[in-house]
Amino acid sequence: MKSILMIATGGTIASAEDGNGLAPALSGEELAGYVPEIAEVCDLDIVQLMNIDSTNMRPRDWLRMAACIQEHYDAYDGFVVLHGTDTMAYTAAALSYLVQDSPKPIVLTGSQRPMANPFTDAKLNLFQSLLFAASDTAHDVSVVFGGEAIAGTRARKQRTMSANAFVSVNFPSLALIRNSRIVRAGAAPASPSGPHFFNTLNERVIVLKLTPEMNPSIFELLKPDYDAVILETFGIGGIPEYEDASYEHAIFDWVESGRTVVLTTQVPEEGLDLGVYEVGRAYVDRPGILKGDDMTTEALVAKTMWALGQTRDAQELRELFYRPINHDRLPVL
């Protein structure tokens, strides 16, 4: 029987009403006690790393999780991280970059309703996440939620209340989980050769969503606090092209100052292509401007923080950013 380490961090799954709204209260041990069927799946040990609402999750907490996994990596066959749903996609992406090419599975899960709620989805999510972590074909970082296993860089919270809260964006789900059966559409990919651990991030990354008439002078205002802007453009890659070329001046000045711009789209599916319209072509081959293609914004935030945490050299940064990691972007053919 596989040996799994469960890392509890809080979230709705661990929450209880305290008179001021839901807040994390239950320990990992208490949560496991609600699902006695776990004993049929794996040998389980539990670490209570933190107990917070995931709204309060920060990059320093991602580093704590990665360090915990690294510390216990040789002693276990897999890992399950209990996490709040609101920032789970960010954490799953971050762990994909902090623990790369892991032959052992690192699975994140949580719930839309607390474990003690009579209509909770927590019990099945916890059971199925451990089932997936204990399977012979699972590896790397994934999210298991609502009967679906999703690559850690492709998960996004799509619904605020429904049990099927997460979707896989621009990439097929890794597997479906039906009760106690894991169903894959094809053969599982070969186990990677890692793991490779990283322990540095650059937190000075911000996301800007273009809106009509947004003043491009915002780039100048952001300079003291940020090294990279992830800009969510219109449509397939549209950036306003006014008579005064104010957006071009602002963006080019940003990258010429040694900072980074990552261009993506605010449209959820199918990705970016700057070469389609005239309003995007000025940015296609400009040094310092990286293209997010069909990556999620959550993955772009985490990858940019990771890449800038490893280097500030423009060429090395570009190489790290465009390297496919845990299915975050399709390799160039």
Question: Residue 285 has what pLDDT?
Answer: 75
Question: Residue 280 has what pLDDT?
Answer: 62
Asked whether 130 and 4 are in contact (CB, 8 A), the reply is yes
**What is the average pLDDT across 289-318?**
96
Which token pair is 45? 């040990």
**What is the average pLDDT across 272-297?**
80
Sheet holding 78-82, edge to edge: 43-52, 3-10, 78-82, 105-109, 140-145, 148-151, 175-178, 181-183
Question: Residue 278 has what pLDDT?
Answer: 57
| Given the residues 9, 85, 153, 297, the one annotated as active site | 85
Map out the domains of the chain with their CATH numbers: 3-197 (3.40.50.1170), 205-322 (3.40.50.40)
More confident site: 101 or 287:
101
Q: Is 153 a residue of the active site? A: no
3-state secondary structure 269-299: CCCCCCCCCHHHHCCCCCCCEEECCCCCHHH
Confidence of residue 217 (pLDDT cuts 50, 70, 90): very high
**What is the average pLDDT across 313-333?**
89
Q: Which percentage of the chain shows pLDDT scores above 70?
A: 97
Question: Residue 189 has what pLDDT?
Answer: 73
What is the phi/psi pair of residue 164, to 5°?
-90, 65
Question: Residue 25 has what pLDDT?
Answer: 81
**What is the average pLDDT across 2-11?**
97
Q: Is 85 a residue of the active site? A: yes
Residue appearing with tokens 């999210």: 143
**What is the average pLDDT across 242-259?**
91
**Maximum mean pLDDT: which of 151-165, 261-275, 281-295, 297-311:** 297-311
Mean pLDDT, the chain, rounded, equals: 93
- The CA distance from 47 to 70, in Å, is 13
pLDDT exceeds cutoff 70 at 332: no
254 half-sphere exposure, CB direction, 13 A CA radius: 30
Residue 211 is labelled as binding a ligand: no
**What is the average pLDDT across 258-282?**
82
**What is the average pLDDT across 187-209?**
90
Question: Residue 279 has what pLDDT?
Answer: 55
Span 103-148, pLDDT tens digits: 999 999 999 999 989 999 999 999 999 999 999 999 999 999 999 9
Least confident of 15-29, 83-97, 181-195, 269-283: 269-283
Least confident of 80-94, 98-112, 184-198, 199-213: 184-198
pLDDT exceeds cutoff 90 at 237: no
Residue 85 is labelled as binding a ligand: yes
Q: Which percentage of the chain shows pLDDT scores above 90?
A: 80
Least confident of 13-27, 145-159, 208-222: 13-27
For 161, the 3-state DSSP assignment is: coil
Give the pTM. Answer: 0.94
